Structure 1
Amino acid sequence: MISTTTPSIEGKQITEYKGIVFGEVVAGVNVIKDFKAGLSNIFGGRSTTYEDELIQARQQAIAEMEERAAQLGANAVVGVDIDYEVLGSDNGMLMVTASGTAVNIQ
C-alpha cells in the first residue's frame, strides 16, 4: 500500500475516496528506559532509548492506519499526518496518531 503526505500520487489517478482513516498507538516507557534516558539528559547526547520507542510507535500507527484503509477496500492513503502527544500526570505515555484519506488509485 502506498501512503504519502501529499494530496495525490504522481502518475496515479485517484478513482475513489473511501474515507478518513486513523491509526493510534499509546506506548508507555518503563522505569529502566526512563533511567537510561535520564542519563542522556545529565551527560548530554541523544536518547536512543526514547528515539527507538518513538520510531516503533510511529511505525505501528502507520501500519494500523494502512490496515484500516485496506479494510475499507483502499489501496493507498493520501494526505497522511502524524501527530505526537504525551499523556498522563507524569508524562509517562506517548501517543502517536497517523491519519489520512483512504483512496483507490489506478
Structure 2
Amino acid sequence: MIVTTTNSVEGKKVLEYKGIIFGEVISGVDVIKDIAAGLTNFFGGRSKSYEGELIQAREEALKELEDRASAVGANAVIGVDIDYEVLGQAGNMLMVTASGTAVVVE
C-alpha cells in the first residue's frame, strides 16, 4: 500500500478514485503518564511518555487508513493529512485522524 501526502504517486497513473477515507484513534493517557508529563512540564524538557502515546496513536490511525483503503479495493492513498486534537474535560484524551483519498494506481 502506497501512502503519501502528495496528490499523485510519481511515475504512476491514477486509474480509479475510490473516495475519501479516514483512520481515527482516540487514546486515553493513563495517570502514570500524566504525572510524568506534569513533572516534565514543571522541570522542563521533552515528555517521552506523551511522545510515545502520540507516536503510537499516529501509527494506529495510519494503519486503520490503510486497512480501510484495502477494504474498498485501493492500492494507494494520496493527499494524506493527519490531525491531532486533545479531548476530555481534563484534556487527557488524544484524538488522531488520518484522512486521504483511496485510489487505484497502475
> In structure 1, what is the equivalent of residue 57 of structure 2?
57
What's the offset of the Cα at 1:43? 1.1
Listed one character per residue, the Cα deviations across residues 5-49 of structure 1 (whole Å, up to 9, x for unaligned) are: 000011111000001110000000010000011111111110010
Taking only aligned residues, the RMSD between alpha carbons, in angstroms, comes to: 0.5
2:10 match: secondary structure: coil
* Shift of residue 69, structure 1, vs aligned partner: 0.4
Q: Percent identity?
A: 68
What's the TM-score, normalizing by structure 2? 0.98
In structure 2, how many angstroms separate the alpha carbons of the residues matched to 1:35 and 1:47?
11
Count of residues in correspondence between the two structures: 106
Q: Following the alignment from structure 2 to structure 1, what is the Cα–Cα distance between the partners of residues 64 and 98?
A: 8
| TM norm structure 1 | 0.98
C-alpha distance in 2, partners of 1:89/1:30?
Answer: 14
Provide structure 1 residue ranges, at least 5 long, that are not aligned to the other structure: none
Deviations 1:63-85 (A, max 9, x none): 00110000000000000000000
CA–CA separation in structure 1 for the residues paired with 2:22 and 2:91: 23
Aligned to 1:22: 22
Q: Which runs of 5+ in 2 are unaligned?
A: none
Which amino acid letter does the alignment assign opposite residue 92 of structure 1? N
One-letter code of the match for 2:94? L
Hey, which bits of structure 1, 4+ residues long, moved more than 3 A?
none
